[in-house]
């Protein structure tokens, strides 16, 4: 890929760490003019902004760290508004922030369900609404990529609220893509599989009593001998954000090494 994001203004929720940060850095490498990242920690958001600036391939990348808790009403819309106020527009949006706490159908509390829906579904709905409104107001095309999950196909029993929220996001992605195709606003999603991130390491230790060798053990059991990597996914996201992905819209792509509905026997 070469300068696929030249001159573009991008907002990445969850962009202060993990996959979101990898996407923001990849966009900077591909020529983005401005990148806003949303995170709950001011320290992480500032550090991410500095890292993104350093990734500009021979050009200056303006960055905007935004501290927001997307579970709170109004925060998602504020993130888009601050991006537009700083850069004058928004060309691309990536919804990468996500809640991943565990819960089964029987033990999930209303509070836990509300948290997943707020972060994984309501916040993307509101950022998309605000971003699309700006794109339509200017009469310019735009692109949105939602980070969904292979769990939207059904998921593990302990991912009930997560699965519900991500399945909703998949449906929203298709609905919005269809609604705004004549606005030349392309909206796609990636169902990512098991990915090696610092956040996943913390999740494995917190919820699954994993030891320091969890990654080695997990990768040994995978068809490709490894888990997905944030930089690999980031390349796919940047491709979907860019003009190189052509007319593709409304696609929810399985980005994984396992195939839903396929069986060994």
**Catalytic residue numbers, as ranges:** 162
Written as six digits, the tokens of 68 are 């927001």
* Residue 1, helix vs strand vs coil: coil
Which of these, 50, 53, 7, 63, lies nearest to 32 by C-alpha position? Answer: 7
* Residue 187, helix vs strand vs coil: strand
Instruction: Say which residue the tokens 């966009």 belong to.
Output: 27
CA dihedral 137, 122, 162, 68 (to 10 degrees): 90
b (16+ CB within 10 A) / e for 55-90? bbeeeebbbbbbbbebbeeebbbbbbebbbeebebb
Check if the beta carbon of residue 189 is closer than 8 Å to that of residue 169: yes
Which of these, 176, 188, 195, lies nearest to 242 by C-alpha position? Answer: 188
Residue 99: how many CB atoms within 10 A of its CB? 18
Query: What does the alpha-carbon distance between residue 185 and residue 132 come to, in Å, rounded to a whole number?
Result: 8
């Amino acid at each position: 890929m070469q300068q696929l994001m030249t001159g573009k203004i991008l907002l990445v929720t969850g962009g202060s760490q993990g996959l979101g940060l990898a996407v923001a850095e990849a966009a900077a490498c591909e020529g983005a003019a401005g990148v806003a990242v949303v995170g709950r920690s001011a320290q992480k958001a500032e550090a991410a902004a500095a890292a993104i600036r350093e990734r500009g391939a021979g050009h200056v990348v303006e960055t905007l760290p935004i501290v927001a808790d997307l579970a709170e009403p109004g925060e998602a819309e504020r993130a888009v508004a601050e991006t537009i106020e700083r850069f004058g527009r928004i060309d691309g949006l990536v919804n990468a922030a996500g809640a991943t706490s565990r819960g089964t159908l029987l033990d999930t509390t209303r509070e836990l369900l509300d948290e997943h829906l707020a972060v994984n579904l309501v916040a993307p709905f509101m950022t998309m609404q605000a971003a699309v409104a700006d794109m339509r107001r200017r009469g310019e095309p735009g692109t949105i990529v939602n980070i969904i999950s292979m769990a939207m196909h059904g998921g593990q029993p302990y991912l009930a609220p997560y699965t519900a929220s991500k399945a909703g996001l998949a449906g929203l992605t298709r609905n919005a893509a269809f609604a705004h195709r004549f606005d030349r606003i392309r909206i796609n999603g990636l169902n990512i599989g098991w990915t090696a991130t610092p956040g996943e390491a913390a999740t494995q230790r917190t919820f699954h009593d994993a030891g320091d060798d969890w990654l080695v053990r997990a990768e040994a059991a995978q068809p490709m001998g490894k888990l997905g990597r944030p930089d690999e996914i980031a390349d796919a996201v940047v491709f979907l954000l860019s003009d190189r992905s052509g007319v593709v819209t409304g696609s929810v792509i399985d980005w994984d090494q396992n195939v839903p509905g396929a069986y060994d026997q």
